[in-house]
Chains A and B, each alone.
Chain A
């Protein structure tokens, strides 16, 4: 159950990273959101047997981690968590796809293994893009840029509330769970009944908290409409250069297998 402590601290850390002040952080969030989306679409559009063509895309997370002054070890750890889940499905590929597609020396490699590897690389690339986006932009800024892209305000408001209260509620959850754990004397595991009781209490306290929040909102003149403090974003020259350069690179890398070219130069088999 201490897993909840760990993942919560992780969450807070990622959130704090977004408050840093590098040039990358100060870019308008829309540029970063667009670039990330373009990155993901390009990566995901490769067909299932491509591996080497995807590898040059690693340059994006690598450069951004450096530019954003993000701790590489931390990011790597978060990405590694994703891998088991991708492998869970990916490992079926070698089972079902036994057609040999290449031979290295005496080793027969089936299409299944290639596509499995492809899934792995995909997972690493897309996960890193998402995490880096949050670490360099911050969740409220991402919501703001989505609002500018016409996300409904009702949705945006409750999204920000959710985000705001995750810390508060997970803290409460941890305290309750820990209190129970300290009184369970070695009896491992939380049964359904006890969990429901725990969750039920937490739910009622949450409900009462929501009522108090509403009270506080009313006390400050709330009458149904949450006005957004939309900060004047500035999508200027730097943002355009950033977006255009990266997107151009992605398209270039998508259409040309840079790894292949590099390798061909070295092995002279062009």
Chain B
């Protein structure tokens, strides 16, 4: 996993908690903790950090991951606003993940192992996104999607009718949004 994800986690922890919490997590997870954005680190280190946060914050690991996604997205939106400004809704933004966002990720971070989503856009209201990855980080995707809906000021209904964690061969994210009345 690319160092940039660890950097994001550190930034989120420091912003939502404090420096000490990050220190404590590193200590509990027993990892080196020196992450540079361009470097690559074992996925295992991320899992250890998630496990440490889960026990420290007394929260299930998936919730930690979802929370991380939800809080990481605003940081990304801040850093790369043009990817977000080009859209007005969650749905069109999500459809650019494979061809635009992850394409850019690969350019900046050679060797980045980003997931490829399959979309089902047959319904104008409901977007189905298929996610397959040995990392099984569908919760991270959920967190990102929740924060994206918030970014565009939309009310989100998100379900996972299929999930690898429940024994399915893939995760399916069922997404529908509507604009919040201001």
A and B are partners in one complex rather than unrelated chains: no
